Amino acid sequence: MDRDYVIIGAGSAGCAMAYRLAEAGKTVTVIEFGGSDAGPFINMPGALSYPMNMPLYDWGLKTEPEPHLGGRVLATPRGKVIGGSSSINGMVYVRGHAKDYDLWAEMGADGWSYADVLPYFKRMETSHGGSGPDWRGSNGPLHVSRGPRDNPLFNAFIEAGRAAGYPVTEDYNGRQQEGFGPMEATIHRGKRWSAASAYLRPALKTGRVAMVRGLARRVVIEDGRAVGVEIDSKAGRQLIRARQEVIIAASSLNSPKLLMLSGFGPEAHLREHGIEVLADRPGVGANLQDHMEIYMQYQASQPVTLYKYWNLFGKAWVGANWLLLNRGPGTSNQFESCGFIRSAAGKEYPDIQYHFLPIAVRYDGKAAAGGHGFQVHVGPMRSKSRGSVTLRSNRPEDAPVIRFNYMSHPEDWVDFRACVRLTREVFAQAPMAQYVKQEIQPGADIQTDAGIDAFIRDHAESAYHPCGTARMGRASDPMAVVDPECRVIGVEGLRLADSSIFPQVTNGNLNGPSIMTGEKAADHILGRQPLPPSNQEPWINPDWRVSQR
């Protein structure tokens, strides 16, 4: 059955668009390759290290050997499940800094300044504990909550930031991002609140949205217009037709791949793979960006960490409490306090982010040596390194070639060294120092630039925030892939809306901005007047020119 719209990808932006289009009375087919998001590994916030390491839920994509990281190959998890990466991520909710969006507008994304996007952030959320109606939403589909901060380490981290001279912010998603404070998460009533929970399931209940399971092979173009999507499903190869438009929302790694397989991309690269060129767009797959981070780990002088649960009995107790009583550590992602600071005087707004965690553990769930410990994930927010996503072959089943080119810009090393030194200073403050026995990693003996650089080269990890591979800009910009209404340049009836279109990576985790992109794109697709711009004035540190804090 033909429907008005076909959306490729039931991820953060795709679910939001399906919901808003259905709300407007339109019919939608959502194509999704991944399976169900049922089960405790996805729904229990405390189990977040599991789904992104499970082939059942993750595409299993990997980078090519990264030349500036000693040739390491890094995992780049993307959700292969209903809800996309919002079903396997760390559930941290960060809108980004107001200046990020003003920069987008300056880069050609007209109508995407902070004043333009704040109303969409408000429309999409129900904020539990934010800074009130001027800044936060109260009746949107996406529930955003705060952890209880029962563990004394959470507040010790915030107070250590204050003692080091940094601001404290009550709501980094409100007027003031800069500073230390409580962290927010897409958790509702003790369970992960993904885009599938917030948007897709309610949309399916309307009867106007249907989900088709299959692998999207290419967008089908007839006479210069997108008319449908060719998929491989259990029923074989078929064409899913759209009466009005096709919308790609398949992630910043798979969306550019799909564009190229459909004939949109750098001409020479498409010809190399025997693909007919419909539009020579060199920006497709270019401009790949991400956040990198290191885990600075400390041994605890007191047994106050989550390590006491890090055994078979402890995990069973946490799981049973969550499953039967909906309480205990399993109801939280354990990222309950955070910080956003500037690395140097002259930086107008924060460029370093902290996620604090009351256990020393790797993202794959392996505990660090030394028993009781804690860690902070820290990294620069605005790396100047750029990479690319290209085709491995013209076969849709094959993973794309992913080259982030991490740490290829010399300023990234300067910024990362600042992360290490500023963090050590925070942990030396009295509120935190009382809990520190010793530094596990990098280790107190690593002090020189060369020593810190070697640690970064060996241990820096992706924060899993890839974006930018189908950049939004003015139609006259040769490197832009979509215009400010998310229309793919060079074809009719085709849009793209997900983190691919970000001109530059935002300050913080990308799930919130990705959902906002789907929300705003839905109004463009429906031909509506965008929501009226906000006139709220975000806080910028008045001493930013002369002071680092």
Which residue is it, tokens 């789904």?
51
Q: Which amino acid is at 114?
A: Y
Do the Cβ atoms of 298 and 438 come closer than 8 Å? Answer: yes
pLDDT tens-place string over residues 506-517: 999 999 999 999
pLDDT value of residue 509: 98
Euclidean distance between CA atoms 418 and 256, whole angstroms = 34
pLDDT higher than 80, residue 366: no
Euclidean distance between CA atoms 378 and 296, whole angstroms = 7
On average, the pLDDT of the chain sits at 96
pLDDT higher than 80, residue 363: no
CATH number listed for the domain at residues 148-182+292-380+408-459? 3.30.410.40
Q: Report the chain's terminal Cα–Cα distance, integer Å.
A: 59
Torsion angle in degrees (nearest 10) through CA of 146, 116, 505, 475: 160
- Annotated active-site residue 465? The verdict is yes
CATH class of this structure's domain 1-90+120-145+185-283+388-397+484-497+513-528: alpha beta
pLDDT value of residue 365: 63
Which residue is it, tokens 């200073």?
425
Q: What angle do CA 400, 290, 264 make, to 5 degrees?
A: 40
pLDDT value of residue 369: 63
Q: Which residues pair with 66 in a beta bridge?
A: 72
Q: What's the mean pLDDT in 459-487?
A: 97
Q: Enumerate long-range contacts of 127-131, CB under 8 Å, 24 or more apart.
A: 127/173, 129/182, 129/184, 130/171, 130/173, 130/174, 130/184, 131/170, 131/171, 131/173, 131/174, 131/175
- DSSP line for 170-211: S-TTTT--SEEEE-EESEETTEE--HIIIIIHHHHHTTSEEE
Both tokens of 522, joined, read: 């839905």
In 62-147, which residue ranges form alpha helices assigned H by DSSP?
98-106, 114-124
Quick one: which of 140, 100, 144 has its CA closest to 120? 140
pLDDT tens-place string over residues 69-114: 999 999 999 999 999 999 999 999 999 999 999 999 999 999 999 9
pLDDT tens-place string over residues 201-236: 999 999 999 999 999 999 999 999 999 999 999 999
Q: What angle do CA 452, 352, 76 make, to 5 degrees?
A: 80
Options 273, 355, 465, 524, the catalytic residue = 465
Give SS3 for 92. strand
pLDDT tens-place string over residues 377-431: 999 999 999 999 999 999 999 999 999 999 999 999 999 999 999 999 999 999 9
Domain with CATH 3.30.410.40 in the chain: 148-182+292-380+408-459
Q: What percent of the chain has pLDDT over 70?
A: 99
Euclidean distance between CA atoms 297 and 232, whole angstroms = 46
pLDDT tens-place string over residues 35-65: 999 999 999 999 998 998 899 999 999 999 9
pLDDT higher than 70, residue 314: yes
pLDDT higher than 80, residue 251: yes
Euclidean distance between CA atoms 527 and 548, whole angstroms = 44
Euclidean distance between CA atoms 137 and 124, whole angstroms = 7
Euclidean distance between CA atoms 495 and 7, whole angstroms = 9
- DSSP line for 33-56: -SB---SHHHH-GGGTTTGGG-TT
pLDDT value of residue 49: 87
pLDDT higher than 90, residue 263: yes
pLDDT value of residue 364: 64
Q: What's the mean pLDDT in 280-296?
A: 98
Q: What's the mean pLDDT in 292-316?
A: 94
pLDDT value of residue 53: 87
pLDDT higher than 80, residue 1: no
pLDDT higher than 90, residue 367: no
pLDDT value of residue 258: 98
Both tokens of 358, joined, read: 């009351």
Domain with CATH 3.50.50.60 in the chain: 1-90+120-145+185-283+388-397+484-497+513-528
pLDDT value of residue 361: 84
Euclidean distance between CA atoms 249 and 398, whole angstroms = 18
Quick one: which of 289, 290, 283, 335 has its CA closest to 480? 283
Phi, psi of 109 (to 5 degrees): -90, 70
Cis peptide preceding 442, ω within 30 of 0: yes
